[in-house]
């Protein structure tokens, strides 16, 4: 199951929002350390809002099969109330100031986030830091949040699409750290107790485990003083994050969950380079081209599916996939696999490649409008992408991708697809699905 943060999209794919000069693209970004806590502050002139995220390193690598979901549960319970701001007072202040505080966790990291207007930032910061450092963590709040998580877990396989996601995770992450679900399972969440999350929270509050990112039109020196006052006395600890093993599929596979539905839901997953891999940008372009091709061939020309797709994730151990819902899944998958083979065997001509950089330029700026998206991107690059400065070179590296690079990426990664299907098992031709 893929977790989406309510406060801002951690899986968004963008960065920045002001004009940057070619010779100093990081001129608005300040980096400093507060007792072992790394802080990245980006000033965005004239922005009326401020966003921030306190990120916890390690993700599911810090959890086990027995306590899966404990970070999600801990961070979410913490945002319910703090010592200084009981639940009703906290909600009243957030509503009065038009601010928001949220929490969540994914495979690679967790976060407590803040969004506010510039004029109300000081008040929201006070609530945010109190929630982080001194949450109430009462039995009432714990039970409320736990039941909310359990309800989501009980409903996660109701729709065919969500059932497909559950099957996907089970298959592709077997024997990998990602086999530990960020949201946990009904069994693990049901067994966790209040004292468990209190202990986990105490262990989280070490500056070596944390990263703070702030974006807004604020003074850097003032921010540094506020961060020091709020977090300067936290213990440093000695947290050392372990590397995440990469995904690698040795052979194609097919797993089917039988369900009596008129349409078959299909996803074919293959390994992909992570954010810090030299192949990342070529693969991004390759997936964009594949997405366009499968849409044209499956929907426009053959009308086999309403929304065929190809996409790439942004995890430390990364994957990409093709996806389709179709009555005739065999024909739809055959068409999609032929498009993959075409990309692997034939280099695109200049005409076919024209416009790809322009597409990225357009979507890049559309998606970078919010401060929250910029916080997410700076954090993602810092935590799993080799450092936040790498985010500044994204467009230049996309522009540098050639047709030969795309073909090499397709040859290297678009193979040994692991197919998962929810639908009519008798209608699935294994030979077609396992031919890649």
Of all residues in the chain, the percent with pLDDT exceeding 70 is 93
pLDDT digits (tens, 9 = 90+) for 26-79: 789 999 999 999 999 999 999 999 999 999 999 999 999 999 999 999 999 999
Identify the band that residue 4 occupies on the pLDDT scale cut at 50, 70 and 90: very low
Q: In this structure, are 315 and 202 located in the same domain? A: no
Helices (H) and strands (E) in the chain, counts: 16, 11
Which H or E run includes 336?
Answer: helix 329-345
Average pLDDT on 426-431 reads: 94
Show the domain range for 401.
253-433
Res 75: pLDDT: 98
In tens, the pLDDT along 281-319 reads 999 999 999 999 999 999 999 999 999 999 999 999 999
Convert the pLDDT of each residue in 193-240 to its tens digit.
999 999 999 999 999 999 999 999 999 999 999 999 999 999 999 999
Instruction: Judge if 208 and 333 occupy the same domain.
Output: no
Name every residue whose Cβ is closer than 8 Å to that of residue 100 and which is 6 or more positions away in sequence: 7, 94, 113, 114, 115, 116
Using the predicted structure, report yes or no on whether residue 384 has a pLDDT greater than 60.
yes
One domain for residues 224 and 360: no
Average predicted confidence (pLDDT) for the chain = 91
What mean pLDDT comes out for the span 232-254?
95
- Please compute the mean of the pLDDT values over residues 74-85 and round it to a whole number: 97
Residue 16 has pLDDT above 90, yes or no: no
> Is there a single domain that holds both residue 34 and residue 116?
yes
Residue 122, in any domain of the structure: yes
Report the predicted TM-score, pTM, of the whole model to 2 decimal places: 0.91
Same domain, 269 and 389: yes
Which residue, 181, 201, 231, sits at the end of a domain?
231
Give domain status of residue 76, yes or no: yes
Q: How many domains would you assign to the chain?
A: 2
Query: What's the confidence (pLDDT) of residue 348?
Result: 80
Note whether residue 275 is domain-resident: yes
CATH number of the domain that residue 83 is part of = 3.30.830.10
Confidence (pLDDT) at 38: 98
Tell me: do 198 and 291 sit in the same domain: no
Closest CA to 317 of 176, 436, 159: 176
Q: Are residues 220 and 273 in the same domain?
A: no
The residue with greater pLDDT, 33 or 1, is 33
| Residue 239 within a domain | no
Please check the confidence at residue 188 and state whether its pLDDT lies above 60. yes
Is the residue at 17 inside a domain? no
367 pLDDT band, cuts 50/70/90, is confident
Residue that is last in its domain, among 200, 231, 262: 231
Residue 419 and residue 357 share a domain: yes
Q: Which residues are CB-neighbours of 232 under 8 A, at least 6 positions away? A: 34, 35
Same domain, 383 and 259: yes
Average pLDDT rounded to a whole number, residues 333-342:
97
Q: What is the pLDDT at residue 322?
A: 98
Give the model's pLDDT for residue 27. Answer: 84
- Is 264 part of any domain? yes
- The string of pLDDT tens digits covering residues 117-151 is 999 999 999 999 999 999 999 999 999 999 999 99
CB atoms within 10 A of CB 62: 23
Select the more confidently predicted residue: 201 or 346: 201
CA dist 169 and 179 (Å) reads 7
Q: Categorize the per-residue pLDDT at 24 as very low, low, confident or very high, splitting at 50, 70 and 90.
A: low
The closest of 179, 159, 180 to 171, measured between CA atoms, is 179
Q: What are phi and psi of 114, to 5 degrees?
A: -135, 140
127: number of Cβ within 10 Å:
22
Which is higher by pLDDT, 23 or 96? 96
Return the SS3 of 407. helix
The whole-number pLDDT of residue 133 equals 97
- The mean-pLDDT minimum among 112-121, 170-179, 239-248, 360-369 falls in 360-369
Residue 219 and residue 351 in one domain: no
Average pLDDT score over residue span 331-340? 97
pLDDT of residue 289: 93
Do residue 85 and residue 221 come from a single domain?
A: yes
Same domain, yes or no, for 267 and 137? no
């Amino acid at each position: 199951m893929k977790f989406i943060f309510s406060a801002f999209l951690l899986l968004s794919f963008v960065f920045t929002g002001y004009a940057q000069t070619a010779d100093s693209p990081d001129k608005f970004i300040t980096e400093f350390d507060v007792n072992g806590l790394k802080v990245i502050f980006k000033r965005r002139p004239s922005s009326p809002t401020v966003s921030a995220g306190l990120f916890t390193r390690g993700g599911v690598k810090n959890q086990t099969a027995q306590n899966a979901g404990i970070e999600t549960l801990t961070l979410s319970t913490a945002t319910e109330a703090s010592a200084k701001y009981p639940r009703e007072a906290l909600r009243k202040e957030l509503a009065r100031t038009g601010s928001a505080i949220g929490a969540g966790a994914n495979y690679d990291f967790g976060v407590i986030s803040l969004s506010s207007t510039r004029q109300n930032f000081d008040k929201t910061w006070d609530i945010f830091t109190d929630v982080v450092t001194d949450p109430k963590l009462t039995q009432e709040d714990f039970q409320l949040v736990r039941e909310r998580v359990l309800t989501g877990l009980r409903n996660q396989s109701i729709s065919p699409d969500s059932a497909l996601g559950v099957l996907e995770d089970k298959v592709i992450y077997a024997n990998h750290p990602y086999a530990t679900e960020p949201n946990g399972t009904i069994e693990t969440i049901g067994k966790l107790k209040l004292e468990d999350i209190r202990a986990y929270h105490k262990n989280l509050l070490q500056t070596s485990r944390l990263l703070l990112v702030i974006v807004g039109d604020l003074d850097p020196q003032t921010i540094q003083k506020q961060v020091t006052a709020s977090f300067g006395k936290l213990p440093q600890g000695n947290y050392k994050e372990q590397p995440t093993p990469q995904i690698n599929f040795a052979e194609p596979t097919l797993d089917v969950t039988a369900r009596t539905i008129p349409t078959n839901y299909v996803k074919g997953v293959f390994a992909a380079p992570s954010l810090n891999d030299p192949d990342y940008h070529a693969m991004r372009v390759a997936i964009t081209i594949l997405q366009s091709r499968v849409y044209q061939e499956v929907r426009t020309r053959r009308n086999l599916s309403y929304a065929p797709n190809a996409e790439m994730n942004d995890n430390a151990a990364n994957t990409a996939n093709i996806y389709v819902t179709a009555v005739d899944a065999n024909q739809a998958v055959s068409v999609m696999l032929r498009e993959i083979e075409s990309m692997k065997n034939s280099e695109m001509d200049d005409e076919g490649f024209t416009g790809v950089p322009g597409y990225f330029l357009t979507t890049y700026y559309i998606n970078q409008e919010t401060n929250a998206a910029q916080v997410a991107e700076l954090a993602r690059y810092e935590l799993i992408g080799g450092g936040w400065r790498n985010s500044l070179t994204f467009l230049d590296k996309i522009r540098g991708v050639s047709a030969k690079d795309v073909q090499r990426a397709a040859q290297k990664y678009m193979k040994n697809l692991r197919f998962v299907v929810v639908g009519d098992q008798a209608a699935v031709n294994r030979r077609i699905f396992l031919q890649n």
